[in-house]
Structure 1
Amino acid sequence: MPSTETFRIPKHRRHVPAARQRTAKALADWGITGELADSVALLTSELVTNAVLHCRVTYAQVRVTLTLNGPDLLLEVSDPDRDRLPRLHDAAPDEEGGRGLALVTALADAWGCRQEPYTKCVWAQFTLAEARQDGVRA
């Protein structure tokens, strides 16, 4: 049976650190530590920041869901601006932002986005290190 942790935060920059902290706590509770935990926490910050900055729905909440199912860990970040899907682009060296999805591409085993009836969801999937060593890869 998969383990799931879901929480919501208000769509405001000051709540991004709370999302990262709650993610780190959930991972620690599941015994996930080290580089993988650091990567998932970092990508939580990136995806939540993207949702906060780009969602045009006033007074929205951002939903974060972590699901551990066997060797697979799934991070999902949803917001109610379903028609604004993220796109990967090359950020210029002098740009302050624009590198979040490049980080997701580099650190996750897979990622994508989907439109749901009232929200969009950006997800990142990871495979636990033990499963990688046994030759299993998502």
Structure 2
Amino acid sequence: MAPIDPNGASEWFVLGAFVVPIHEDAFVQQWLTEALHRLRSRQRTEIHFAKLDDERKETVCHYLESLNFRWFVSVSHKPNMRGYRNTRTEVVRSKNYFYNWMARILLEKVTQYCQKDALTRYRGKPQHKLRIEFSNRGGMFYPHTRDYLAKLWI
């Protein structure tokens, strides 16, 4: 389906994350390398679904489902947001306020899962931490995202 705006992108905004247990963290780069190998891609260093055809998306998904991590997503149908204003976020000078809000929703899901998982896996011992890494995409200013999340934490 074509976007509503003549120069617009997809009508959907999707932000995803995956959670890897710390003892599997060392394998993440190997998983990426293997996924790229299965795509027969020698030049790519990352996987962005918007740039893959349907066959390659399916290839990656089949591989990823075999790995030991959990997926989380936050999804917004952008036309639903037309005309909506959040005056509290307008005072923050950031062109990425919508991204930051969607990241917040995503991280709320992730942290709830991690808390529940820690209670089960580690019998509620509170010493475990969550490390968050964002992919470095063009057009983003991540210090604003970090500041936004820090304000929420406080």
Do they superpose with TM above 0.5?
A: no
Instruction: Decide which structure has greater strand share.
Output: 1
Give the TM-score of the pair, scaled to structure 1: 0.26
Structure (1/2) with the larger helix percentage: 2
**Alignment TM-score, normalising by the size of structure 2:** 0.23
The structure with the larger Rg is: 2
